[in-house]
Amino acid sequence: MPEIVVLGAGPAGAAVALGLKRLGYSVRVVSEWRRFTAVEGVSQRVLDGLRQAGLRHALACAAAPSPRRVLWNGDGQSINQECLLDRPQFDAAIREDLRAAGIEVLEARVLKVESTDAGHLIHLDASEPLHADFLVEARGRSAPLAGGRLRGPETVSLLNQWQEAPGHPGSAVESLPDGWAWMARLVDGRCYWQITLDASGLPPKEQLPDYCAQRRAESSLVRELFGDAALQPANLHARSSTAILFHEASGSNWLRVGDAAMAVDPLSGNGIFQSLSSALQAPAVINTMLQCPDRAELARRFHQRRVEHLFLRFARTGRDFYALEQRWPDQPFWRDRRSWPDAEPMHAAADFSQVRVERAPVIHGDLIDEVEVAVTADQPLGIWHLQGVELAPVIIALQRGELKHALAALPEAQRRMVQGWLLAQGYRP
């Protein structure tokens, strides 16, 4: 079996490693610990993704849902909830999941990777170099920025952390004239506040703690959620939040996943969910590249198309959230982000004239295969099955005037389901 090395032990890298291990591959993971503490608010779909990936210990780290205040475009509401996730604890639990699956985890910093068609030589700071026949790049935004890529408006997030007395957990998000802020308080009193701004025009680095303290003092939500300690300078970590899409997410013996393949603005959705979205498909892609060389290009095309599709979905979600804030339309921060990446709708309107059958790559068991799928305005990559019913034969039968016969061959529940799907696409008998 080929030796596979995964660089990065975040949710994306771990999901790929666990998936490959289940397929019988020898996998090693190389990762260094996160250099700053952080907390994230996650939704139910993130928890579902962790469960699907087999990250059982990591899933157990999520706290019970707590209230989240939202103050956007001058309107406030507190009906939302999110589960707060302590990232240091979460990262440790991911490693526990990997080791429980029999996957070796090397705690080391990658100094350099030398790659050829014959394999990869990975130089580490704490051990001898590693050889890999196949490399998975899952180091998130810290992965080397090689190759062509699409970049959104340059964005930076300033994360502040301090300690208060234990109390009720909660979180909030608010829009500001030049950006937006997310804040959270854990039950043990750890407090986090992150402001996301345009990367240009920031104060010098040494002035950032005082600058952030001043911005917190201007917020009514900060005063509601935190105590007086929130008005003082705090530990600060600056990180890029610029949306990036890599035009080449794979090579003949390597694959990018998670934020190393595409990273979007944090307003577009939870980063963990974004990472898992591209990582869960990767084991089938890699398995195809290694076991079916004649389908390697098909597998790579599948991965690239899915990554690009996911990126645009997330980016347009962020764009539409930005567009909801209309108090400062001429401010550069809001003006630039309410129109990027394009003007295409998040979901295309139903148009049955665009429904057609094409051959496209899909996940078939543990491999990527090419089959006939139904392509619609809102699903340009195509749909193979609708709860077990192949859609391409239904579309072909309809085009031949044989739809009634094709539907009659289905059980009643499936027939009604397919009829409902056709009507949703704009079909009118």
Give dist(CA 50, CA 60) in Å, integer: 10
Mean pLDDT of 338-363: 94
Question: Is a pLDDT exceeding 90 seen at residue 275?
Answer: no
What pLDDT is attached to residue 269? 64
d(CA 19, CA 382): 24
Q: Are residues 227 and 161 part of one domain?
A: yes
Are 297 and 277 found together in one domain? yes
Largest CA distance in the chain: 73
What is the model's pLDDT at position 78?
A: 64
Q: Are residues 121 and 269 in the same domain?
A: yes
pLDDT confidence of residue 79: 61
Quick one: 233 and 141 in the same domain?
no
C-alpha distance from residue 3 to each of 11, 106, 130, 202 (Å): 21, 15, 10, 45
Q: Which residues contact 417 (CB under 8 A, 6 or more apart)?
A: 386, 387, 389
Query: What's the rounded Cα separation, in Å, for the pair 222 and 98?
Result: 38
- Three-state DSSP at 234 gives coil
Inside any domain, residue 76: no
pLDDT confidence bin for 162, thresholds 50/70/90 = very high
Closest by CA to 142, choosing from 8, 235, 243, 236, is 8
42 φ, ψ to 5°? -120, 155
DSSP secondary structure string for all residues of 199-214: STTPPPGGGHHHHHHH
**Statement to judge: residues 319 and 419 lie in one domain:** no
* Structure-block tokens of residue 285: 């892609």
**The pLDDT of residue 1:** 85
Q: Point out the domain boundary residue: 240, 271, 288.
A: 240
Residue 82 has what pLDDT?
Answer: 85
How far apart CA 38 and CA 15 sit, in angstroms, is 21
If 0-12 CB within 10 Å is exposed, 13-18 middle and 19+ buried, where does residue 274 land? buried
Distance CA 106, CA 193 (A): 32
Residues 16 and 165 in one domain: no
Give the 3-state secondary structure of residue 88: helix
Residue 31 C-beta-side C-alpha neighbours within 13 Å = 27
Query: CATH number, domain at 122?
Result: 3.50.50.60
pLDDT tens for residues 44-98?
888 999 999 999 999 999 888 888 899 999 988 766 788 888 999 999 999 999 9
Q: Are 247 and 222 in contact (CB under 8 A)?
A: no
Tell me if 69 is assigned to some domain: no
119-124, Cβ contacts within 8 angstroms, sequence gap of 24 or more: 119/253, 120/5, 120/253, 120/254, 122/5, 122/7, 122/30, 124/30
Above pLDDT 70, what percent of the chain?
99
Please state the domain count of the chain.
3
- Bridge partners, residue 183, by sequence: 172, 193
- The whole-number pLDDT of residue 9 equals 95
CATH assignment at residue 186: 3.30.70
Comparison of pLDDT for 175 and 266, the residue scoring more: 175
Asked, for residue 338, whether it belongs to a domain, the answer is no
Could you read off the pLDDT of 114-147 as tens digits, one per residue? 999 999 999 999 788 999 999 999 999 888 867 7
370 is in which domain, residue-wise? 352-424
Q: What is the mean pLDDT of residues 229-239?
A: 95
According to the model, what pLDDT value does residue 26 have? 94
Q: Which of 202, 224, 240 is the last residue of a domain?
A: 240
Give 40 or 219, the one with higher predicted confidence. 219
Q: Are 70 and 172 in contact (CB under 8 A)?
A: yes
The reported pLDDT for the residue numbered 226 is 96
Whether 270 shows a pLDDT value over 80: the answer reads: no
**Of the residues 209, 240, 271, the one at which a domain ends:** 240
Do 196 and 301 belong together in one domain? no
Mean pLDDT (the chain) is: 93
Q: Of 230, 218, 84, 88, which Cα lies nearest the Cα of 164?
A: 230
Instruction: Say if CB 107 and CB 126 are below 8 A apart.
Output: yes
Residue 193, domain member (yes or no) = yes
